[in-house]
Structure 1
Amino acid sequence: MSTRRRRLATIAAGAAIAPLITVVLPAGTASAHGYVNSPPSRQAQCAAGTVPCGAIKYEPQSVEGPKGLRSCNGGVGRFAELNDDSKGWRATSVGKTVTFNWTFTARHRTANYEYFLGGRKLATFDGGNQQPPANVSHQVNLGNVSGRQKVLAIWNIGDTANAFYACIDLQVR
């Protein structure tokens, strides 16, 4: 067989196999968006294996829902366990002021970040409708609370109607 024929046979075999490989190989998970990684949010605890969880373990950055919600799962049914306060979430011991650190895997333009405690807004940070760096930190004063508390952190996207949600369990001294 000549070199030219072998080359054509190899190309033809590759073209025939390519569609099969696309169907047989598993698709990867989408790498998108962001969450609070410190103190560890509920989805960060799932990703680390601190608390046994379902699908959120593999995509902690994906708790995305319409703006204006006040739920830990952002209205996403398959992440409903993030709303379960009895699941055994570990509370991080903190003082009256806490630094929340966001990690982003896709950096959307940002309208703002909001922090809530017991339905009361604690703080808002303007995002300037700019794309954030890969990591963003905010220092938030919790006020006169003590004991076990749950903070809801929201990243409101500037170029969509959606936001990203994260609940963080704290033990305030």
Structure 2
Amino acid sequence: MRRKLSTSLLGIGLATAALFAATGSAQGHGYVDSPISRSGVCGNGSVQNCGQIEWEAWSVEGYKGFPGRGPADGQLCAGGNGRFSELDDPRGGNWPATNVSGGQSYTFNWRIVARHATTDFRYYITKNGYNPAKPLTRADLDPQPFLTVPFNGRQPGATVTHSGVLPQKTGKHLILGVWTVHDTENAFYSCSDVKF
């Protein structure tokens, strides 16, 4: 019985390793937890029915080069990764939102599970008139990031904080954080719902 159980567990372990190798799902490694992102509220259990992101809050990885390249419109919050499409569902505009103020100095915080050489961190915000009940598109975002933090190929620590001034906005908005990896084709995407 013990040998049969050990063989079964070994088989499951090998299958899991093969799945990670084939899908790349073991490669995702960071998300914003201040203001808390959709990945974060799914990962901590504040929001239910989030699918796989509930166990992999750090895995929203997609192609880099945003906004010229990267995930397709309507798939930005999931980084173009269909396994995490629940993050792109606007849920009728009912995602929990962090209260913020326009013109406020704010400290953004990333949780880094695996440290990658980094090009930069960039923060985009939705335009005035943004409809939180629709999936996020490039046209919804101000064209330039309101905060860019260059890293020039350095590795971040286990947590990374950036301070910047929030733009003057009113109502509900979405902040898209993009962590661009320096030495791969990928970036990490993190959507945080905020209310001004």
The whole-number CA distance in structure 1 between the counterparts of 2:5 and 2:35 is 47
**Count of equivalent residues:** 159
How far apart are 1:23 and its partner, in Å? 1.1
- In 2, distance between residues paired with 1:65 and 1:31? 10
Residue 159 of structure 1 aligns with which residue? 183
Does the 8 A contact of 1:155 with 1:163 survive in 2?
yes
Q: Distance in 1 between matches of 2:152 and 2:119?
A: 6
Counterpart of 1:141 in structure 2 is 165
User: Are 1:84 and 2:89 counterparts?
Assistant: yes
* Residues 110 and 17 of structure 1: CA distance in aligned 2, closer, same or farther (over 3 Å): same
> How far off is 1:58 after superposition?
0.2
Q: Which runs of 5+ in 2 are unaligned?
A: 18-24, 127-140
Q: Could you tell me which amino acid in structure 1 is paired with residue 9 of structure 2?
A: I
Does the 8 A contact of 1:33 with 1:105 survive in 2?
yes
TM-score in terms of structure 1 length: 0.82
CA distance in 1, matches of 2:100, 2:9: 50
Residue 75 (structure 1) aligns with:
80
Give the C-alpha shift of residue 98 in structure 1: 2.2
Letter in 2 for 1:93: N
The answer to which structure has the higher strand fraction is 1
- Give the match for residue 47 of structure 1: 43
Q: Which amino acid aligns with 2:85?
A: A
Q: What is the deviation of 1:89?
A: 1.1
Question: Quick one: which amino acid aligns to residue 111 of structure 1?
Answer: T
Task: Compute the TM-score of the two structures, normalised by the length of structure 2.
Answer: 0.73
Q: Would you say the 8 A contact 1:66–1:161 is kept in 2?
A: yes
Per-residue Cα deviation, 1:125-144 (whole angstroms, up to 9, x for no partner): 00120111110011232221
Max radius of gyration: which structure?
1
Question: SS at 1:164's partner residue?
Answer: strand
CA RMSD between the two structures: 2.4
1:9 corresponds to: none
SS at 1:35 equivalent: strand
Q: What do residues 16-67 of structure 1 show as CA deviations (whole Å, max 9, x unaligned)? A: 9865431145848847510001221000000111111110000000000001
- Structure 1 residue 171, shift from structure 2 partner: 1.0
Distance 1:76 1:114 in 2: 20
Aligned partners of 2:28 and 2:61 also within 8 Å:
no
Equivalent pair of 1:148/1:169 in contact (CA under 8 Å): yes
